[in-house]
Structure 1
Amino acid sequence: MTAFERRTRRVQSRLDAVGADALALTPGRDWYYLTGVDAEQSDRLQLLVVPADGDPTLVVPTLEAASVREAWVDDVRTWDDDEGPWPVLDPLLDALAPSRLLLADRMWTQYALGVRERLPDADVGLASEVLSPLRRVKDGRELDALRAAGNAADATMRDVRALGADAVGMTEAELADYVEERLEAHGGTGVAFETIVAAGPNGADPHHASGDRVIGAGDPVVLDFGTRVDAYPSDQTRTVVFDGEPSEAFRRVHDVVREAQSRAVAAVEPGVSAGAVDRAAREVIEDAGYGDEFVHRTGHGVGLDVHEAPDIVAGNETKLEPGTVFSVEPGVYLPDRFGVRIEDLVVVTADDGAERLNHTDRRWRV
């Protein structure tokens, strides 16, 4: 049995537990999680239908049939452009006759409405009700991919640090291009998200788009980047100074953020709430007088999506389980001056509490 089939069978058990008769997924991360097929939604409907009992079915356009052959699902039903998908899909839905159906959270509205019109008496919910708890806990295959992606990010950060004074005079965009080239060189596939290189006052914008600002001596530079390995991403942030001496204020803030990040990682262990990890980081920053300048959650779950459950945020009482992977990324942002963020991914472990997936130097001096 493949990992994808095992996941699908666990989904079926959860469907029964929540009183749902079936779920229907269009291409996306959940589709990949259950099939191993990487596809995108398009104007031609593709649907994975998973009943609570029995085998799943793939409904795809004839011209996409070859692309799903790698899936473990045997029942593949195709449709042609001249008739559309409904003559194939309607008998399947009629046979299921679900009283409760879960649909992909990000299904295009036109498809969701089409299903809804054909099942007017069914209670319709979201597939994340059953998939989110399963995706939150990673299996061995997923953890291997996340570690490999983390290694590619680590190796890239070491290359970036090795630039030293040579980085002075580069633009943010030029350094971002260098980061992306090194991620590929170290085994990554593309970027997991838009690379952030934010120099000087631009670092005060947590989601700054790398631009034409030239990196100067003494400039704090926030670097936030990641790549993918076997579809799973890395996500690492460091704040460094390539040459010269930064302000005393920057040194102080960097020390505070580094301590906050360390405290939060130390707080991670099975059974601790996601909100408690946020609290561990936030207390350090608040006690130092920068609470108002920490403007985002401490972290977010990471898996097939760079941002997924659980949010590491105040009030989230979700209990951490072994195999859960998330970022720990406290930051302080002083407008028109600089920003500091330090981020690692961690996996919750039964024995040690937390395993860091990033291991490069967290200090500012290169």
Structure 2
Amino acid sequence: MVDPLGSEALLNGARAARAREALERAGWKGLVLVPGPNLRYLTGLAIEPSERLTAAILPARGPGRLLAPAFEADRLAGGLEETLEIVPWPEHADPFAVAAGLIAEQGWLLDATAPFWIAEAFHDRGVRLRSAGALCAALRRRKDEAELDRISAAQRLTRETLVDVPGWLSPGVRERDVAERILAAFRAAGAPGWAIVQFGDRSALPHGRPGERRLTPESAVLVDLGAVRDGYHADLTRSWWFGSRPEGRYGEVASAVEQAQSRAAALARPGARAGDVDAAARRFLEQHGLAAYFVHRLGHGIGLEIHEPPFLVHGSEVLLEAGDVFTIEPGVYLPGQFGIRHEDVWVIREDGSERL
């Protein structure tokens, strides 16, 4: 599939220029990109990976090239936004030998999302590549306005869909049924997406999957969902009680989780340490005797990938910067009883943070 990011050739050209500058500053010769988020970010090409090698060869200096199967060349040319010369390889050829000839020297980086077989094939042909993980993460971390627009649109659709979910709940409905209705709503709006729906004590599984569990009166409901707009992800979680008599501490825990999110968000600003934002939520839950049941990090970056830097995790010294986009999602999971997670997406602005 080729799915370019609209008519933004100048924007993608600017991104590729920043990549070249970063390569040159660090003394690297160039960057090899494979189908995935980094290729899409720097060239505008959204290509499904396959067993045939397609790779963008982006040198620190000089023209970039797109190595591709010959029968795909015309199709791919229509989706390019960064000026790349297409180098077609015929079916009988060894594409890695062709790529090795284009690289021709050591000091190149390989897309960290590349599967092992690609790295191994280059290695077997004497091409020693280092990981481009840190460089690509740094390039993609600060979201530009076009990216923020897409994340906001995805988040808006996700929130609008979630509003309808309580009306789909009735005794006997399965988790899977509700998840499928969410996905159908996304598709009707022209967006792919995903959904996690958990009932009763299954809501205490932090990363459960919707299954055959049927909803019963007086039980917990947890829904975690996200639409995708033009490749950019949303992420939203809400929890509530289906019935009129919440079990035990449910109301108290729900209030504490929401307040923990507010405490963390209040600290999220340029220069704040990611670990300190996590600690703010954790300290508040500790005051309510719940910290032991908050078993995951507070949040993760989001964009072309559902999980990407920065990560709000205990002890992280990463300093937040304007343009960072991430989730804040404290959760409390009481085994055998219920789980509650409250998640939204936030962006760091020059003077603080804003919920998208």
TM range (shorter): over 0.9
Of 91, 94, 98, the match for 2:101: 91
The equivalent of 1:317 in structure 2 is 317
The equivalent of 1:207 in structure 2 is 207
The equivalent of 2:27 in structure 1 is 19
Unaligned runs of 5+ in 2: 1-8
Task: Give distance in 2, aligned partners of 1:181 and 1:40.
Answer: 23
After the TM superposition, which parts of structure 1 deviate over 6 Å for at least 4 consecutive aligned residues? none
Q: 1:87 to 1:210 in 2, by over 3 A?
A: closer
Matched, 1:168 2:171: yes
Task: Give distance in 2, aligned partners of 1:311 and 1:67.
Answer: 37
Matched, 1:183 2:190: no
Contact 2:100-2:122 at 8 Å conserved across structures = no
Secondary structure at the counterpart of residue 248 of structure 1: coil
1:243-258 matches, within 5 Å, as: 243-258=243-258
Contact 2:97-2:125 at 8 Å conserved across structures = no
Unaligned runs of 5+ in 1: 358-366
Deviations 1:177-225 (A, max 9, x none): 122222233x35111x4x1111110011011111121212221101000
Matched, 1:79 2:86: no
Of 90, 95, 103, the match for 2:110: 103
Shift of 1:237: 0.1
Secondary structure at the counterpart of residue 74 of structure 2: helix
* Partner AA of 1:300 in structure 2: H
The equivalent of 1:3 in structure 2 is 11
TM-score with structure 1 setting the length: 0.91
Give the root-mean-square deviation of aligned CA atoms: 1.6
Matched positions, count: 346
Q: 1:87 to 1:283 in 2, by over 3 A?
A: closer
Matched, 1:296 2:301: no
TM-score with structure 2 setting the length: 0.93
Task: Give distance in 1, aligned partners of 2:345 and 2:214.
Answer: 29
Contact 1:62-1:80 at 8 Å conserved across structures = yes
Shift of 1:169: 2.9
The equivalent of 2:3 in structure 1 is none
Q: 1:60 to 1:252 in 2, by over 3 A?
A: same
* Partner AA of 2:239 in structure 1: T
Contact 2:322-2:349 at 8 Å conserved across structures = yes
* Partner AA of 1:115 in structure 2: F
Task: Give distance in 2, aligned partners of 1:233 and 1:211.
Answer: 23
Contact 1:20-1:102 at 8 Å conserved across structures = yes
Q: 1:25 to 1:171 in 2, by over 3 A?
A: same
Secondary structure at the counterpart of residue 249 of structure 2: helix
Matched, 1:356 2:352: no
Deviations 1:252-303 (A, max 9, x none): 1111101101111111101101111101111111111111111000000101
Contact 2:228-2:234 at 8 Å conserved across structures = yes
Secondary structure at the counterpart of residue 275 of structure 2: helix
Deviations 1:54-86 (A, max 9, x none): 221110011221332121323110000112314
